[in-house]
Amino acid sequence: MCIFCKIIKHEIPSNIILENDDFLAFHDINPKAPIHILVIPKLHVDSFNEATPKIMQNMTTFMQNVAKEVHIDKSGYRVITNVGDDGGQEVKHLHFHLLGGAKLAWSHLSDSDPKGKF
C-alpha cells in the first residue's frame, strides 16, 4: 500500500485540513512555502495521467474549498501536480500541491534552454 493510502487509513499520522468521503487535504511534511498543502483523492490513482474527468471535477471544488479554509483564496496560490520521472513525482498517488502564504518565486525549472526548442 502506498504512503498516501496509509495516511487516508490513518495508519500514518498527518495534519489534516479538510476531508470528505472522496478527498483529503493535509500539510506537506516538508513545506516549500508558508502554506504547502497536499490534496489527494481517497481512490488510489497513480498520477494525473490516470485521473478521470469525474475525479478532477470534484477535486477542483474540493481544492477551492481548501484554499478558502486556509484563507489564501483571495491572496492567491499555486497548484502543482508532478507526473512521472521528468515531473519529479516521488509519491505515486495523485496529489496536488497547493502553495501560498507569500509571493512565490518562478524561475527556470531545467538547465536546457527553453528558447531553443520553439
Catalytic amino acids?
Answer: 95
The single residue among 18, 45, 70, 91 that binds ligand AMP, judged by CB under 6 A, is 91
d(CA 104, CA 84): 24
**Cell numbers linked to 91:** 509519491
Largest distance between two CA atoms of the chain: 48
d(CA 82, CA 90): 8
Point out which span in 17-25, 56-64, 66-74, 83-91 binds ligand AMP (CB under 6 A): 83-91
The single residue among 10, 21, 30, 54 that binds ligand AMP, judged by CB under 6 A, is 30
Residues that bind ligand AMP (CB under 6 A): 3, 12, 14, 28-30, 38, 82, 88-91
